[in-house]
Structure 1
Amino acid sequence: MAESLKEILFQLIKEREDAFEFIRSYAHNGIWFADKSDTITEQWINPRFWKTLEYDQDLINVDKPEWGEILHPDDWEKASIMYFDFINERRDDYDVKIRFKTKTGKWIWMNCRGMLITSIPNECDKILVALTDITKQHEKELSLNKLIQRYNHIIEGTHIGTWEWNVATGETIFNERWAEMIGYTLEELKPTDINTWAKFAHPDDLEQSNALLQEHFEGKSEFYEFEARIQHKNGHWIWVHDKGKLITRTPDGSPEWMTGSHQDITFRKKNEEEIKSLLVVATNQNTRLLNFAHIASHNLRSHVGNLVMLEQLLQNEFPEVSKNQYATLMSKAIENLSETVDHLNEVVKYSSDQADKLAPLEVKQYIIKAIDDISALIEEVHGEVIINIPDELEVMAIPAYLESIILNLMTNAIKYRHPERAPLIKLTFSKNESMTCIHFQDNGLGIDMKKYGEKLFGMYNTFHDNKDSKGIGLYITRNQVEAMGGTIEVSSKVNEGTLFTVSFKKPDELSLSEF
């Protein structure tokens, strides 16, 4: 009977265009041909089908195969329902994907597509089905679906809106999060196209956005990237970081599909605006404070000068006054006030200097000069200075500041020397990616860092019983270092000594930052 069905099929192919076109389309696939019947009693299956399943058709009953043995159990119900709906004309097409077992036990996916052949002279209606091996395609689809699922999870996790734009047609696809950012559902925005974006975008942003898009289309930028404002449903504006990339072009090279994302950065932009406002306030306050310091310093110096002049006139006119106890106290008070004004002038001077005065300076030259300046003092206390710094080592500094810093730290090492040993000062250096560090190590009294560490660089703070201590030197030193973009750090142990580390910008680091 199978051979009879085969002959009928071949005759139909010759006589009927629909049968011919179907077979032509699926010539290299498995073919199943049978009577249209609820009980499939007569059928013909071509050799290609059995070859796909790795069977030798000479060793099996090809006319009456055991479908239950080769059809996947989970697909049996689906295949049966589709088949009966089709032959009973409850659906127009037969198109189902099901699994078959090969001779070696593997499961392969096949796409079964069929057609009904009716009005056959002297014959009942027939069903013709092509069975195509789609295993590789199905595996690719599974991998793609996993990738899409992973991509969707990433989008959900990062909470970003996405867009896909056909530049040629204007068609634009947004995800639900994109609509949610501006207070809508995607359904409310449909139908969507590029005008949807233009409708909600801030008018002042469109010109720059279009210019950046054009640059990207012309290949001048790898990505399109822009921070834009979009109007929320409630009327306020939100900020988004808009980033995208052109992924396809038309055959003539024109931009086609572009994909991208919108990330809500409103919170960040608000913080930036607050920081800018605070910076303006702080800058204005600093300017006013500096102006006040200049005025106060100038006026105080004038008044102190008058007091000193009056004191001298009084002593010249009435020499006996100098023996008066109160006159002596007044003279000392005037002297202290004059010294305080000098300190204030120094602080104002350091605060006014600008970093554009920085120049590459050879550190060792300034160290040698400082040693020469205090050589008598070093010799008096039998001190020793060891310099392990190369002649050519340069740092970016203001000459007067560098000289002052070195001199102050070295004189401190001698001033606060340990009474039981001669002072030893070691000067070394180190480097990191952007800074050159000069280390000042002494063997003096040391500082209780737990007790005084936070106060060390404060004005008028002293930590030893030394009558010459004013508490201004380290304060000025830190201000000088920081004015040049550097840092000063200290570590110390009582009765062992102190290490000051002063970090300066490297010459190449400064030059790179200025361009």
Structure 2
Amino acid sequence: MTQQNIDTFSDFENFFDTSPDLLCVAGYDGFFKRINPAVSRLLGYTEEELKSKPINDFVFSEDKNSTETARNELKKKVPLFNFENRYLTKEGNIVWLLWTSLPMENHQLVYAIAKNITYKKELEQERNAHLAQLTKINEEYKQLTYTSAHDLRSPVNNLLSVFELLDTSKISDPETLELIGVLKVTSEGLKDTLNEYVSVLDKKNDQIAKIENVDLNESLQEVLLSINSLIQNSSTTIVIDFSSFEAVHFNKAYLKSIFLNLITNAIKYGKTHESPIVTIRSYQSTTTKQLIISDNGIGFDMDKVKGKVFGLHQRFNKKSDSHGIGLYLVYNHITSLGGKITLESKLNEGATFTITFPTE
């Protein structure tokens, strides 16, 4: 061997031993044949310990199969680039490695180099956790805005119905008439703005809602008060029977929204020459609590609506103020907390919604 060859070999040995990257030679039999000190320093095992067991013994359990598959590809003379897997150190810590491996079929060996990317992976996991948290918060604000915008439309409609009941011919004061006109125009503008918001804020959000013991009658009365003019103007009769149970473990805001949407829908889709009648009652079996809300309105053709009735922007009539959002909100309020809702209806024979609350 010439002096130049000796120097070259010595330089290679120095490079191999001092490289901060993990350098190794592995056999087709799945054992390390040679490793540099960086491998031992990272994994915490001596060179002898690392050579004494199959390589897969040091691989993290969830990555064993993918590592074995990659090793089999190398045996088919397929080089391996940018392969990531996890190893367990002697102390039980997980480290991430990024591998480049080249097969040498004539010697039944694999030459491989790996970089420790654990820090990078930890940063990615931290970033993803922050993104998930921000996404959750963003979705919660979207849902809050979405629900508020939709539910505020009924009180605004209630306000507009008051203006319709006013007989301005009996008011002689010009300033009062002007103020009434301003209030009416402002209310109509607010209604249009809310409708625009609702049309934009249509993305479902699975929010974690506060669960508490909610009084059914108390929540219902708050809703009825907010739409009192609408009920009076439409000559709607509300029949209430909470004798089976009077309270439920649920989210109060969700329950009020359910009452609001189902009652206003029953009034909106009442029969032309028949005053709306809405019956609201509780029912309790040995295993479940249910809220049953029925009306005598125009009903649904169940053969046509089928599974679409609770979908977003699903409209089943030609009313101009139908937005296909109310039942969507009701469905999501209930199912997001583990409950369910069903509909029984026939065309021109009213509708019955049965809400089954989640088990307490």
TM-score (norm 1): 0.33
Larger Rg: 1
